[in-house]
């Protein structure tokens, strides 16, 4: 598949790409893009995969600072760790190592030093814990900035755009399968948006006071009984399934269990829910280029849910803000597209290392790809205001469209007769 990435907009298999000299104007592009996205969102099976780009987009509206995955300086085995980090980043298709590469390498070094009974393992653990603690605080600060920030005179504008983005995909007919939302982020942006939008989340955690991660995949859903009707429960609107592929800052190890602690969105420093020792307790996941860590608990269950949700006929996967830097996630997308009736929609703000371009070019399946690429489409405000389907959970909009369609069908024959001189 040949893609001219200078166009900024490309829908594979169609003639929708604008001329290079044409200015990207929503009033010209919306009639082509919005109906197509509406059709994709109403697919039989729908999944959405979001990455750090969503957090950056919301933080940009709120004028908040995003937690960066920057590496830190180590005092023990510095050069050896840097060399291993660079090799890890290269295997993942990145030109530069990030914090996840460093955490994984340090964990491997610590295990080796512990086997050798080398006391340097204790010092290296302390350095790792200090770095993860700083990262945890940065994530909480970003959440707090999103919660409190916004444009002048427009309270909670960031939250409103986040809510509209989520509802555009969650607004599905109750008769269809629930939206499966997957995220590689450690923050609670999705949970925050769901609370703000009144959506109910189904995940693997069971319990009220101290929700515990369940390794058994029980297909639980939510129903209600309409007034005056017995024995015919109906699906409840506004329910989504959420899977956090790389863990979360409020997941912690409690003995042999993984529990979700009551940590507020944007928790202040010193909150009792924040652990004093982060390393080994908070379940955040440094991705592994060789996929070994995906075979460990609980990540094996999370990735099974991901593969089961997208690798089925008549399914659509939409990615937003995901940079295609995780090979184990990309492999599932490749397997998904081996099913002819599947489709992938990629929405990206930028692609500095050309990972998205290389992934799409290697697939060779243009008819199963739709791409909205560039600053115009990747900007959250533009995407929500002009291109995503209307965010609504009621049936009024669909009924209105049916009424208009019926009236137009009745009107057209009369207009034809009028042209022939027959009064209507």
Q: Specify whether 420 is located in the same domain as 377.
A: no
Residue 216 resides in a domain: yes
Reported as a single tens digit per residue, the pLDDT across 87-123 is 888 877 677 888 888 888 888 898 899 999 999 999 9
Give the span between the Cα atoms of 279 and 99, in whole angstroms: 13
Asked if residue 400 is part of any domain, the answer here is yes
295 and 421, same domain (yes or no): no
Q: Are residues 240 and 198 in the same domain?
A: yes
* Residue 338 placed within a domain: yes
Least Cα distance to 165 among 149, 183, 177 occurs for 183
Within 8 A by CB and 6+ apart from 39, the residues are none
Q: Are residues 164 and 54 in the same domain?
A: yes
Same domain? For 289 and 424 the reply is no
- Here the CATH number for the domain that contains residue 217 is 3.40.50.1220
Judged against a pLDDT cut of 50, whether residue 12 lies above it is answered with: no
Residue pair 184/151 in contact (Cβ under 8 Å)? The answer is no
Q: Judge if 419 and 339 occupy the same domain.
A: no
Assess if residue 127 is contained within a domain.
no
Tell me how far apart the alpha carbons of residues 343 and 61 are, in angstroms, rounded to a whole number. 30
Q: Are residues 230 and 344 in the same domain?
A: yes
**Tally of domains in the chain:** 2
Nearest CA-CA partner of 393 in 163, 51, 124, 54? 163
**Residue 15 in 3-state DSSP?**
coil
The helix (run of H) or strand (run of E) holding residue 130 is: helix 120-148
Whether residue 398 sits in one domain with residue 313: no
Q: Please enumerate in sequence order all residues whose Cβ is within 8 A of that of 41, keeping only pairs 6 or more positions apart, or say none.
A: 168, 169, 171, 172, 316, 318, 389
Judge if 327 and 379 occupy the same domain.
yes
Interhelix angle for 52-62 vs 157-170, to 10°? Answer: 140
pLDDT digits (tens, 9 = 90+) for 220-236: 888 888 887 777 788 88
Considering the domain boundaries, does residue 255 fall inside one? no
Percentage of the chain with pLDDT > 70? 84
Domain that holds residue 42: 5-64+154-246+285-393
* pLDDT one-digit tens code per residue, 165-209: 999 999 887 778 999 999 999 999 999 999 988 899 999 999 888
* Start-to-end C-alpha separation, the chain: 53
Question: Are residues 289 and 381 both part of a single domain?
Answer: yes
pLDDT digits (tens, 9 = 90+) for 115-164: 999 999 999 999 988 988 899 999 999 999 998 875 554 556 888 899 99
Q: Is 47 exposed, middle or buried (0-12, 13-18, 19+ CB in 10 A)?
A: buried
| 335 and 405 assigned to the same domain | no
Asked, for residue 238, whether it belongs to a domain, the answer is yes
Q: Are residues 237 and 158 in the same domain?
A: yes
Whether a cis peptide bond, with omega within 30° of 0, leads into 244 is: no
Residue 20 lies in a domain: yes
Q: Give me the pLDDT at residue 350, please.
A: 87
> Is residue 343 in some structural domain?
yes
């Amino acid at each position: 598949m040949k893609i001219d990435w200078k166009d900024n907009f490309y829908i594979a298999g169609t003639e929708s790409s604008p001329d290079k000299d044409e200015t990207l104007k929503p009033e010209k592009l919306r009639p082509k893009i919005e109906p197509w996205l509406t059709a994709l969102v109403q697919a039989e099976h729908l999944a959405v995969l979001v990455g750090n780009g969503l957090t950056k987009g919301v933080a940009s509206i709120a004028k908040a600072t995003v937690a960066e995955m920057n590496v830190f300086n180590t005092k023990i085995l510095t050069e050896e760790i840097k060399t291993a980090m660079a090799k890890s980043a290269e295997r993942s298709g990145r030109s530069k190592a990030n914090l996840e590469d460093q955490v994984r390498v340090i964990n491997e070094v610590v295990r080796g030093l512990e086997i050798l009974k080398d006391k340097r393992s204790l010092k290296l653990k302390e350095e790792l814990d200090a770095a993860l603690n700083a990262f945890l605080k940065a994530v909480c600060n970003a959440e707090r900035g999103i919660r409190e920030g916004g444009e002048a005179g427009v309270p909670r504008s960031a939250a409103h755009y986040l809510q509209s983005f989520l509802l555009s995909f969650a607004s599905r007919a109750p008769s269809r399968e629930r939206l499966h939302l997957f995220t590689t982020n450690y923050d609670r942006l999705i949970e925050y948006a769901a609370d703000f939008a009144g959506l109910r989340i189904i995940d693997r955690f069971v319990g009220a006071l101290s929700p515990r991660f369940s390794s058994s995949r029980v297909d639980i859903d939510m129903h209600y009984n309409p007034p005056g009707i017995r024995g015919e429960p109906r699906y409840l609107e506004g329910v989504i399934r959420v899977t956090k592929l790389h863990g979360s800052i409020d997941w912690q190890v409690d003995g042999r269990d993984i529990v979700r602690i009551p940590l507020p969105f944007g928790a202040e420093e010193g909150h009792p829910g924040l652990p004093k020792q982060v390393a080994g307790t908070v379940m955040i996941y440094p991705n592994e280029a060789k996929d070994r860590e995906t075979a460990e608990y609980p990540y094996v269950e999370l990735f099974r849910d991901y593969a089961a949700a997208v690798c089925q006929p008549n399914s659509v996967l939409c990615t937003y803000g995901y940079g295609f830097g995780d090979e184990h996630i990309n492999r599932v997308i490749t397997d998904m597209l081996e099913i002819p009736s599947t489709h992938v929609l990629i929405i990206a703000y930028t692609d500095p290392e050309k990972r998205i371009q290389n992934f799409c070019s290697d697939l060779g399946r243009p008819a199963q790809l739709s791409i909205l690429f560039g600053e115009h489409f990747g900007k959250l405000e533009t995407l929500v205001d002009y291109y995503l389907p209307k965010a609504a959970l009621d049936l009024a909009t669909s009924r209105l469209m049916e009424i208009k369609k019926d009236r137009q069908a009745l009107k057209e024959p009369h207009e034809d007769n009028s042209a022939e001189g027959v009064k209507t």
